[in-house]
A = this chain, B = another copy of it.
Amino acid sequence: MSKEKNMIKFIFEQHNRLSCIFRFNNVPRLAPQSVAEHSYRVAFLSMLIADDLISRGVEVDKLKLLEMGMLHDIEEVVSGDIIKILKQGKFKKELDKMNEQNASGILCLLGTKGDEYFALWKEASTGTTLEAKIIGFCDMIDRIIYCVKESHLGNNYLRELLEFEAKKLHEWIPILPKLTSFIEELTNYALLYLRGDPDILKGINRAVRIYDYKVDE
């Protein structure tokens, strides 16, 4: 088949499935989050973080980073959602191997370019470069964003996970030390949210901002 046809088949028949696969599949959710939406936010956050690090003199390969954000969950086209706890548990090794085969299987439809994408996927998954660390960190931030959103919609099932993740955030400080104050502010923000801090709630509710906009004119 021609390269164009393969690209089109990849796009319409495989990759687009990421908008139909929803994360956190064993938790009662009010606004399920697709892998596509998650991938967008991970890539967007990694752009923000990279620009922040660059402004502090750190060298980051932003292009590689954004491409890794695009690709980091691509294996789910084949496997669907598997909850994180399973992937971190006793069967991590087997599940990692399965994911690698799925990522490779799906990307090989794209020929030699697919091999390069697979290398980026693998780098994002194994996590030793700075860029891989940033992806891992943004993956975690997006969990927190999602938990705040669900909590704010009223769903109490994710409050404990939110607290758990917020309190674990400091583990990223030795990994990404230049982000120390960002990480501390973020932890603080999440914990203040959980405690019902009125300033945080006001910011999230945003009605104020909407009316600021009106007043601006």
Chain A: residues with CB nearer than 8 A to chain B? Answer: 2-5, 7-22, 25-31, 33-34, 36-37, 39-41, 43-45, 47-48, 51-52, 55, 62-63, 66-67, 70, 76-83, 85-86, 88-91, 94-95, 97-98, 101, 105, 110, 113, 141, 145, 148-149, 152-161, 163-164, 181-182, 185-186, 189, 201-211, 213-214, 216-217
**Inter-chain contact A160/B206, CB cutoff 8 Å:** yes
A81–B201 alpha-carbon span in the complex (Å): 24
**Inter-chain contact A152/B156, CB cutoff 8 Å:** yes
Number of copies of this chain that the complex holds: 6
- The 17 sampled A-B contact pairs (Cβ below 8 Å) are A2-B181, A4-B185, A8-B186, A11-B141, A13-B209, A14-B206, A19-B31, A26-B79, A79-B83, A80-B82, A89-B98, A89-B213, A94-B94, A154-B154, A154-B155, A158-B207, A160-B205
A2–B171 alpha-carbon span in the complex (Å): 22
Q: A26-B17, A161-B205 are in contact. Are A88 and B39 (CB under 8 A)?
A: no
**Inter-chain contact B9/A203, CB cutoff 8 Å:** yes
Which one, B12, B17, B155, B217, contacts A148 given CB within 8 A?
B12
Neighbouring B residues of A55 by C-beta, 8 Å: 113
Q: Is the interface of A mostly helix, strand, loop or mixed?
A: helix
**Inter-chain contact B2/A19, CB cutoff 8 Å:** no
A212–B79 alpha-carbon span in the complex (Å): 13
A214–B67 alpha-carbon span in the complex (Å): 29
**Inter-chain contact B37/A19, CB cutoff 8 Å:** yes
Neighbouring B residues of A152 by C-beta, 8 Å: 28, 155-157
Neighbouring B residues of A90 by C-beta, 8 Å: 98, 101, 216-217
Tell me, rounded to whole Å, the shortest Cβ–Cβ distance linking A164 to chain B.
Answer: 5
